[in-house]
Amino acid sequence: MASGRTARWPGVAWCVAVGAWSLVFAVPHIYWAAGGRTGLGTRTTAADAAFDQLWFFVYNLVIVVLAVCGVVVALVLAGDWGGFLLRRWLVFAATLAGVALLLRGGLGMIVIVADLASAALDNRTPLILLVIEPYFVLGALLFLGMAAHYRRRPSEETTSPRRP
């Protein structure tokens, strides 16, 4: 029994990391959906314009739902729940999430580097913007790592000997 638990540990660790990342990601979006503005630096006027729009509220709620979906995907994969087909779809969803996060974070990192090179970042730039992009990249690596682990992990259905 201990060997089964040890064999599952890498996957569970990936899932715990993805679940924690997703929960932390949801927190500011809940805060922003509730109208919170702390951490926006001197750009509160531009933020106020966005916060007054219904689309921004809906956007934050959608992000919270997607973050909760990330937690659910991690729980299902870690718990070995569901059949082969469901698990395949969840691995596919985790891969898509990882790719989307990598594109978002990678492009954001490119913009930050370009802004640093052109001195466009100044003391009015909210510190949170310098943290967000690497956080997207971290999430991408976690989702892609989890997906890769479960993609190559043989399922219970395929471990039986094949008939010629």
Q: Which of 32-36, 39-43, 105-109, 126-130 has the lowest mean pLDDT?
A: 39-43
Say which residues have a Cβ less than 8 Å from residue 48's Cβ, sequence separation at least 6. 37
Which range, 4-13, 52-61, 138-147, is most confident? 138-147
Angle between helices 84-117 and 54-78 (to 10 degrees): 130
Report residue 54 as tokens: 């219904």
pTM passes above 0.85: no
Q: What is the mean pLDDT of the chain?
A: 81
- Answer yes or no: are the C-beta atoms of 139 and 101 closer than 8 Å: yes
* pLDDT above 70: percentage of residues in the chain: 76
d(CA 70, CA 104): 17
How sure is the predictor about 113, in pLDDT bands with cuts at 50, 70 and 90? confident
Name the residue among 86, 90, 84, 83 with its Cα closest to residue 18. 90
Report domain extents, the chain: 2-152
Per-residue model confidence as pLDDT tens digits over 52-81: 788 888 999 999 999 999 999 999 999 888
pLDDT score recorded for residue 164: 47
Per-residue model confidence as pLDDT tens digits over 12-25: 999 999 999 999 99
> Stretch 114-139: mean pLDDT, rounded?
76
